[in-house]
Structure 1
Amino acid sequence: MAWEMSLEAYQAALILAGCGDALGSGSKATLKEIGVVENIDVKPAHWPVSQNTVLHLVTAEALATGHHAESLWPEFATRYVDCMSASMMSNRRPSTSILRATARLRPSETQGWELPFDGSRTAIEAYPTARSMCIGLRYHKPSQLGSLVATAVESARMTHHHPTAYLGAVTSALFTAYAVQGREVREWGAGLLQVIPEVLGYIISTGRDVDDNQREWCYFGDTWREYVAMRGILDGESRPKFPRRYGAERRREVYQRFAADNMVPGRCGHDAPLIAYDALLSSESWEDLCNGAMFHGGDGSSSGSIAASWWGLIHGLIGVPDRHHTQVEFRDRLLDVGTKLYAMSF
């Protein structure tokens, strides 16, 4: 029987992204410190979503307008500027890098959404990665890979113009598309390694800060190749290799190994999706996923949001406690835009 993607899976992908973000925002703790994950009530008062979900939501809503390519870029920029308002960011403390970048965007001006290359440490942050799953929902067909790459790159470098950031965004979108296509999770890492050169081709074709981008290019791909090789899935066919007991301490060692220097695991564009992918590969239940992607002791907001979105596409809401998703912030808007993206995509 051919693989079929459902409306409910699209809705779950958006809603659980918010849920994973809210749970992961408290991820400097571990599940042992927090208690039984099923007992957590994800409500705005105590478990609000972060800026990641706000930006993911408005990215999805921009995609749902039907704009495409060059007509979509100012739509993104307008919504990124507007969502920095007090009403959407109240009590969220958006990052300095996001505030600084959105303050420089000029959506009404020609190319007013193009920011120059940024070689600073904040430029490699994971924020663009955690708002790009919806791009894979919109452009999920193999024939749409070029649109997926361009959209993820341009969305990301409106705030973080650095390869580590926008390649993370491409990864988040690409793996979402793979989930929609019904590809086995073990195949995804090898697929990414094949797509990275195509992203470089797109960067070169745009002619923007090409030398700067090429100078910082290799770190992302080298890190991911090392990870995929470590798990024994370079061929895209083999079963991933994990220790017999892959508990919190072993995970923490792995995640720290792939973290950027002097940064906690999950903070950057390369390792937030890597942690999310590792958690998805090794999890047999929603609680497993929470332990691996959200409560890993590092920065779990981005990795938690990404992993939960992929989980929603594959499993829907089955096995997810109602108290985790029925009152998550912005739930109605996430449900609505998931419905719209599904209608546009099938």
Structure 2
Amino acid sequence: MEKFTAAMLLAAAGDSLGYRNYNWEICSSGVKIHEELKELGGLDKLVLSADKWPVSHNTLMHMATAEALVTDYYCLEDLYREMVKHYVDAIDKLQGRRPDPATIEGCSQLKPDNYLLAWHTPFNEKGSGFGAATKAMCIGMRYWKPERLETLIEVSIECGRMTHNHPTGFLGSLCTALFASYALQGKPLVKWGRDMLNVIPMAEEYCKKTIRHMAEYQEHWFYFEAKWQFYLEEREIEEDNMSKPVFPDQYDADERDKTYKKWSSEGRGGRRGHDAPMIAYDALLGAGGDWKELCSRAMFHGGESGATGSIAGCLFGLMYGISNVPKGLYQELEMKQRLEHLGEKLHQVSSKEK
């Protein structure tokens, strides 16, 4: 139970830190962010209050997904209709939080009044952004048991393509959901990336079965896999090898910014569905259970730091809980009670399987 509530709270805290009321979200220098953090007295001195450190659209959309997952749905189609309702409701709440344009566009194309096609949105050439990845960790919390893998694949893909109907986008939601399930299964962190790539063929099979937009998908499908393959080779993470990932000797804020840019597709780390989870994963591998180090790598960089912070915070909570995190980072957090409640409910529904 504690890890579920920790995950929901720390996803929001990571989002709030990386976003810093939009100031750090648009800053392109990790070095500058670290300097500003020092001026604020460092991480331990921060108090994340709703007025100065609001959460961004990442947290609101993650909560909307969780709200749907804890309802008493009869079948998966009912769950998707529930998600559609929550996403459409979220549009108004996202105003003023500088939401990702693809999320807004996707939500506006959902059809809550159309019983059969409520969640079917058109293929979107621009739907490759991080927004699908940041709202899907809770799917892995709901269906974390290994025997629920097929359900996890289906739900994370459908959830992803409601707003980001592009393989780079919705494979991001599959990736973060899988990582959350791996964290709860206690799978060694170093194996997550390779194991996730082994699930991609099952995702492709599922997409073929639903025969929507397959021609467009095939054109873009390989990109997500190729980027992850490149990343795992760079860290020297082999299929059957449990050895530690290899990091550069010099890996300070400036070097990380350069590396994250290299993994990105447009020179801004974490903007897409492949590299937002990648940066979060890399930060977890490098931080080794140290919250402060995780923040340094995932929340304070010159890319899409709210997105990467949200994913990293959630996964950290599932692995390590909240006891080593400074209380100021979650005690006055915006929507704290609701986040805790959703964590508890997710724990309940994932324990009593239908």
**TM bucket, shorter chain:** over 0.9
**Alignment-derived partner of residue 269 in structure 2:** 265
Among the aligned pairs, what percent are the same residue?
A: 38
**Alignment-derived partner of residue 119 in structure 1:** 125
**Which residue identity is paired with 1:197?**
P
**Alignment-derived partner of residue 134 in structure 1:** 138
Q: Is 1:48 equivalent to 2:42 in the alignment?
A: no
**Alignment-derived partner of residue 11 in structure 2:** 17
2:194 to 190, 193, 201: 190
**Alignment-derived partner of residue 83 in structure 2:** 76
**Which residue identity is paired with 2:13?**
C
Structure-2 separation of matches of 1:18 and 1:173 = 16
Structure-1 separation of matches of 2:325 and 2:84 = 34
Q: Is 1:34 equivalent to 2:37 in the alignment?
A: yes
**Which residue identity is paired with 1:60?**
A
SS in 2 for 1:124: coil
User: In the alignment, is the contact (CA less than 8 A) between 1:52 and 1:127 conserved in 2?
Assistant: yes
**Which residue identity is paired with 2:229?**
R
Structure-2 separation of matches of 1:66 and 1:15 = 23
User: In the alignment, is the contact (CA less than 8 A) between 1:139 and 1:145 conserved in 2?
Assistant: yes
SS in 2 for 1:92: coil
Deviation of 1:39 after TM superposition, in Å, equals 1.9
- TM-score of the pair, normalised by structure 2: 0.92
**Which residue identity is paired with 1:337?**
L
**Which residue identity is paired with 1:11?**
T
Deviation of 1:90 after TM superposition, in Å, equals 4.8
**Which residue identity is paired with 2:14?**
G
- TM-score of the pair, normalised by structure 1: 0.94
Q: Deviations over 1:252-291 (max 9, x none)?
A: 2211110113x41111100000000000000041111111
2:111 to 84, 89, 106: 106
**Which residue identity is paired with 1:80?**
Y
1:200 to 195, 200, 204: 204
Deviation of 1:66 after TM superposition, in Å, equals 3.3
User: In the alignment, is the contact (CA less than 8 A) between 2:3 and 2:321 conserved in 1?
Assistant: yes
**Alignment-derived partner of residue 4 in structure 1:** none
**Is 176-185 or 228-237 further displaced after alignment?**
228-237
Structure-1 separation of matches of 2:176 and 2:191 = 15
Deviation of 1:91 after TM superposition, in Å, equals 2.8
Structure-1 separation of matches of 2:273 and 2:334 = 24
Q: Is 1:329 equivalent to 2:329 in the alignment?
A: no
1:221 to 216, 220, 225: 225
Q: What are structure 1's unaligned runs of at least 5 residues?
A: 1-6
User: In the alignment, is the contact (CA less than 8 A) between 2:128 and 2:168 conserved in 1?
Assistant: yes
SS in 1 for 2:130: coil
User: In the alignment, is the contact (CA less than 8 A) between 2:102 and 2:131 conserved in 1?
Assistant: no
User: In the alignment, is the contact (CA less than 8 A) between 1:265 and 1:271 conserved in 2?
Assistant: yes
**Alignment-derived partner of residue 65 in structure 1:** 71
User: In the alignment, is the contact (CA less than 8 A) between 1:31 and 1:37 conserved in 2?
Assistant: no
**Alignment-derived partner of residue 256 in structure 1:** 261
User: In the alignment, is the contact (CA less than 8 A) between 2:100 and 2:131 conserved in 1?
Assistant: no
Structure-1 separation of matches of 2:319 and 2:183 = 7
Q: What are structure 2's unaligned runs of at least 5 residues?
A: none
**Which residue identity is paired with 1:33?**
E
1:152 to 156, 166, 191: 156
2:182 to 178, 185, 204: 178
Deviation of 1:94 after TM superposition, in Å, equals 2.3
Deviation of 1:304 after TM superposition, in Å, equals 0.3
Q: Any residues of structure 2 matched to 1:217-296 within 5 Å, and which?
A: 217-236=221-240, 237-261=242-266, 263-284=267-288, 285-296=290-301
SS in 2 for 1:216: helix
